[in-house]
Amino acid sequence: MIGLGWAPPAAAAEPAPSGPTELELEAWLSADPAEPDAAVSSAELEPPPPAPRKRGLVVEGSAGALGHVGDMRHVSPISPWFRLQLGYELFDWLMLLGAGDVALSSTAFARSPPDKRSYALFGVGAGVRLAWQPLTALGFYLQGEAGLSSVDQDVLATYGYPDADRIRPFFGGMLGIEWFQISPRYALSLYGGARDYVQNFERTNGEKPPLVWVSALAIRYTL
Protein backbone atom coordinates (compact mmCIF):
# COMPACT_ATOMS: atom_id res chain seq x y z
CA MET A 1 0.00 0.00 0.00
CA ILE A 2 1.33 3.21 -1.07
CA GLY A 3 0.88 5.87 1.63
CA LEU A 4 0.03 9.37 0.76
CA GLY A 5 2.58 11.79 2.13
CA TRP A 6 1.39 14.88 4.09
CA ALA A 7 3.15 18.19 3.94
CA PRO A 8 2.36 21.34 6.02
CA PRO A 9 0.73 24.21 4.13
CA ALA A 10 3.07 26.85 2.80
CA ALA A 11 3.25 30.01 4.88
CA ALA A 12 1.19 32.87 3.48
CA ALA A 13 3.26 35.62 1.86
CA GLU A 14 3.54 38.86 3.94
CA PRO A 15 1.56 41.79 2.44
CA ALA A 16 3.55 44.60 0.84
CA PRO A 17 3.68 47.83 2.91
CA SER A 18 0.88 50.24 1.96
CA GLY A 19 2.72 53.51 2.72
CA PRO A 20 6.18 55.03 2.29
CA THR A 21 8.99 53.42 4.13
CA GLU A 22 10.93 55.13 6.88
CA LEU A 23 13.82 55.79 4.52
CA GLU A 24 11.50 57.40 1.99
CA LEU A 25 10.00 59.69 4.70
CA GLU A 26 13.44 60.81 5.85
CA ALA A 27 14.46 61.60 2.27
CA TRP A 28 11.27 63.62 1.71
CA LEU A 29 11.71 65.64 4.90
CA SER A 30 15.33 66.48 4.12
CA ALA A 31 14.58 67.68 0.60
CA ASP A 32 14.62 71.44 -0.20
CA PRO A 33 11.22 73.20 -0.29
CA ALA A 34 9.67 73.67 -3.65
CA GLU A 35 10.47 76.86 -5.53
CA PRO A 36 7.59 79.39 -5.97
CA ASP A 37 5.81 79.41 -9.26
CA ALA A 38 7.74 81.87 -11.38
CA ALA A 39 4.89 82.04 -13.84
CA VAL A 40 2.91 84.47 -11.58
CA SER A 41 3.21 87.92 -13.16
CA SER A 42 4.11 91.01 -11.17
CA ALA A 43 0.81 92.61 -12.24
CA GLU A 44 -1.11 89.94 -10.34
CA LEU A 45 0.83 90.80 -7.16
CA GLU A 46 0.07 94.54 -7.31
CA PRO A 47 -2.78 95.92 -5.14
CA PRO A 48 -6.02 96.73 -6.96
CA PRO A 49 -6.53 100.36 -8.02
CA PRO A 50 -8.60 102.55 -5.66
CA ALA A 51 -12.33 102.71 -6.24
CA PRO A 52 -13.45 105.76 -8.25
CA ARG A 53 -14.69 108.71 -6.18
CA LYS A 54 -18.45 108.98 -5.86
CA ARG A 55 -20.16 112.00 -7.38
CA GLY A 56 -23.71 113.13 -6.62
CA LEU A 57 -25.57 114.41 -3.56
CA VAL A 58 -23.11 115.57 -0.88
CA VAL A 59 -23.73 116.16 2.83
CA GLU A 60 -20.98 118.08 4.66
CA GLY A 61 -20.72 119.05 8.33
CA SER A 62 -18.20 121.53 9.75
CA ALA A 63 -16.97 122.70 13.14
CA GLY A 64 -14.64 125.66 13.48
CA ALA A 65 -14.30 129.28 14.57
CA LEU A 66 -15.53 132.73 13.58
CA GLY A 67 -13.69 135.94 14.43
CA HIS A 68 -14.40 139.60 13.75
CA VAL A 69 -12.07 141.89 11.80
CA GLY A 70 -13.99 145.18 11.99
CA ASP A 71 -15.22 147.17 14.97
CA MET A 72 -17.00 144.11 16.42
CA ARG A 73 -13.65 142.64 17.47
CA HIS A 74 -13.83 145.02 20.47
CA VAL A 75 -17.19 143.54 21.47
CA SER A 76 -17.11 139.79 20.80
CA PRO A 77 -14.28 137.22 21.07
CA ILE A 78 -13.51 134.41 18.63
CA SER A 79 -16.57 132.16 18.67
CA PRO A 80 -17.32 128.49 17.92
CA TRP A 81 -18.94 128.12 14.51
CA PHE A 82 -20.95 125.18 13.14
CA ARG A 83 -22.14 124.61 9.60
CA LEU A 84 -24.23 122.06 7.68
CA GLN A 85 -24.08 122.02 3.90
CA LEU A 86 -26.02 120.10 1.25
CA GLY A 87 -24.78 120.13 -2.33
CA TYR A 88 -25.04 118.39 -5.66
CA GLU A 89 -22.04 117.81 -7.93
CA LEU A 90 -23.07 118.48 -11.50
CA PHE A 91 -19.52 117.63 -12.58
CA ASP A 92 -16.33 116.57 -10.80
CA TRP A 93 -15.32 120.24 -10.78
CA LEU A 94 -18.67 121.98 -10.09
CA MET A 95 -21.02 121.76 -7.09
CA LEU A 96 -24.17 123.77 -6.36
CA LEU A 97 -24.93 124.02 -2.64
CA GLY A 98 -27.11 125.35 0.13
CA ALA A 99 -25.97 125.76 3.73
CA GLY A 100 -26.92 126.88 7.21
CA ASP A 101 -24.61 127.89 10.05
CA VAL A 102 -24.56 129.27 13.57
CA ALA A 103 -21.92 131.00 15.71
CA LEU A 104 -22.30 131.08 19.50
CA SER A 105 -20.83 134.31 20.87
CA SER A 106 -21.08 136.97 23.57
CA THR A 107 -20.28 140.58 24.40
CA ALA A 108 -17.33 139.52 26.57
CA PHE A 109 -14.97 142.21 25.21
CA ALA A 110 -17.41 145.11 25.63
CA ARG A 111 -17.23 147.51 28.57
CA SER A 112 -19.84 147.35 31.30
CA PRO A 113 -22.57 148.41 31.77
CA PRO A 114 -24.54 146.53 30.60
CA ASP A 115 -23.35 143.13 31.80
CA LYS A 116 -21.88 140.65 29.37
CA ARG A 117 -24.52 138.79 27.41
CA SER A 118 -24.53 135.87 24.97
CA TYR A 119 -26.09 135.65 21.52
CA ALA A 120 -26.24 133.40 18.47
CA LEU A 121 -25.52 134.49 14.91
CA PHE A 122 -27.54 132.50 12.37
CA GLY A 123 -26.98 132.36 8.62
CA VAL A 124 -28.51 130.54 5.65
CA GLY A 125 -27.44 130.81 2.05
CA ALA A 126 -26.49 129.23 -1.27
CA GLY A 127 -23.37 129.12 -3.38
CA VAL A 128 -21.17 127.38 -5.89
CA ARG A 129 -17.93 125.40 -5.48
CA LEU A 130 -15.21 124.99 -8.11
CA ALA A 131 -12.98 121.98 -7.43
CA TRP A 132 -9.64 120.70 -8.73
CA GLN A 133 -8.27 117.23 -7.88
CA PRO A 134 -4.64 116.87 -9.02
CA LEU A 135 -4.07 113.65 -7.03
CA THR A 136 -6.20 110.61 -6.24
CA ALA A 137 -6.45 111.46 -2.54
CA LEU A 138 -6.02 115.25 -2.62
CA GLY A 139 -8.14 118.08 -3.96
CA PHE A 140 -8.60 121.85 -3.69
CA TYR A 141 -11.65 124.06 -4.06
CA LEU A 142 -12.81 127.67 -4.25
CA GLN A 143 -16.30 128.44 -2.96
CA GLY A 144 -18.44 131.56 -3.18
CA GLU A 145 -21.75 132.12 -1.40
CA ALA A 146 -24.40 134.63 -0.43
CA GLY A 147 -27.29 134.54 2.00
CA LEU A 148 -29.17 136.07 4.90
CA SER A 149 -28.11 136.38 8.54
CA SER A 150 -29.35 137.67 11.88
CA VAL A 151 -28.50 137.75 15.58
CA ASP A 152 -31.15 136.06 17.72
CA GLN A 153 -31.34 138.82 20.40
CA ASP A 154 -31.21 142.58 20.57
CA VAL A 155 -28.00 142.66 22.60
CA LEU A 156 -25.74 144.64 20.26
CA ALA A 157 -27.78 147.80 19.73
CA THR A 158 -26.24 149.25 22.92
CA TYR A 159 -22.80 149.07 21.28
CA GLY A 160 -23.86 150.79 18.05
CA TYR A 161 -25.22 147.88 15.98
CA PRO A 162 -28.97 148.61 15.61
CA ASP A 163 -29.45 146.16 12.70
CA ALA A 164 -27.69 143.16 14.21
CA ASP A 165 -30.93 141.36 15.11
CA ARG A 166 -32.57 142.04 11.74
CA ILE A 167 -32.40 139.81 8.69
CA ARG A 168 -29.69 141.22 6.47
CA PRO A 169 -27.61 139.87 3.53
CA PHE A 170 -24.04 138.57 3.68
CA PHE A 171 -21.47 137.62 1.06
CA GLY A 172 -18.41 135.41 1.41
CA GLY A 173 -15.80 133.14 -0.09
CA MET A 174 -13.65 130.20 1.03
CA LEU A 175 -10.58 128.25 0.02
CA GLY A 176 -10.29 124.60 1.02
CA ILE A 177 -8.21 121.45 0.73
CA GLU A 178 -9.80 117.98 0.70
CA TRP A 179 -8.37 114.60 1.67
CA PHE A 180 -10.33 111.78 0.02
CA GLN A 181 -10.50 108.53 2.01
CA ILE A 182 -10.17 104.91 0.85
CA SER A 183 -13.95 104.69 0.82
CA PRO A 184 -15.06 106.68 -2.24
CA ARG A 185 -17.93 108.22 -0.26
CA TYR A 186 -15.93 110.03 2.45
CA ALA A 187 -13.59 113.02 2.49
CA LEU A 188 -12.09 115.30 5.13
CA SER A 189 -11.36 118.95 4.48
CA LEU A 190 -9.83 122.05 6.02
CA TYR A 191 -10.98 125.47 4.81
CA GLY A 192 -10.93 129.14 5.63
CA GLY A 193 -12.41 132.33 4.26
CA ALA A 194 -14.06 135.67 4.90
CA ARG A 195 -17.56 137.11 5.03
CA ASP A 196 -18.99 140.59 4.74
CA TYR A 197 -22.01 141.01 7.02
CA VAL A 198 -23.12 144.03 5.07
CA GLN A 199 -25.42 145.57 7.72
CA ASN A 200 -25.63 143.21 10.70
CA PHE A 201 -22.23 144.32 12.01
CA GLU A 202 -22.01 147.75 10.42
CA ARG A 203 -21.48 150.06 13.39
CA THR A 204 -23.08 153.47 13.63
CA ASN A 205 -20.29 155.97 12.93
CA GLY A 206 -17.91 153.03 12.59
CA GLU A 207 -14.77 153.22 10.49
CA LYS A 208 -14.05 149.59 9.58
CA PRO A 209 -16.02 147.21 7.33
CA PRO A 210 -18.18 144.51 8.98
CA LEU A 211 -15.91 141.61 8.02
CA VAL A 212 -15.36 138.28 9.76
CA TRP A 213 -13.03 135.36 9.12
CA VAL A 214 -14.08 131.72 9.37
CA SER A 215 -12.05 128.53 9.54
CA ALA A 216 -13.22 124.95 10.08
CA LEU A 217 -12.66 121.22 9.70
CA ALA A 218 -15.28 119.33 7.74
CA ILE A 219 -16.33 115.79 6.89
CA ARG A 220 -18.35 115.03 3.77
CA TYR A 221 -20.39 112.03 2.67
CA THR A 222 -21.56 111.41 -0.88
CA LEU A 223 -24.86 109.56 -1.23
Determine the average pLDDT of the residues in 95-112. Answer: 95
pLDDT of residue 1: 45
- What is the reported pLDDT for 9? 55
Tell me the HSE value of 196 on the side-chain side, using a 13 A CA sphere: 9
Sign of CA dihedral 69, 73, 78, 82: negative
CB 117 within 8 A of CB 158: no
Q: What is the pLDDT of residue 162?
A: 92
Residue-wise pLDDT tens digits, 13-68: 555 556 677 777 777 777 666 655 555 566 566 766 666 677 789 999 999 999 99
Q: Is the pLDDT of residue 86 over 80?
A: yes
In tens, the pLDDT along 165-185 reads 999 999 999 999 999 999 889
Task: Output the pLDDT for position 125.
Answer: 97
d(CA 197, CA 208): 12
- Mean pLDDT throughout 6-12? 54
Q: What does 89-143 look like in DSSP terms, one character per residue?
A: EEETTEEEEEEEEEEEEE-TTSPSSS---EEEEEEEEEEEEEEEEEETTEEEEEE
> How does 172-190 read in b/e, with b if 16+ C-beta sit within 10 Å?
bebebebebeeeeeebebe
Contacting residues for 192 by C-beta, under 8 A, at least 6 apart? 174, 175, 176, 213, 214, 215, 216
Distance of CA 83 to the CA centre of its chain: 14
Q: Give yes or no for residue 2 having a pLDDT over 60.
A: no
For a pLDDT cut of 90, what percent of the chain falls above it? 64
pLDDT of 35 reads 59
Note whether 218 and 188 are within 8 A (CB).
yes
Cα–Cα distance for residue pair 115/111, rounded to 1 Å? 8
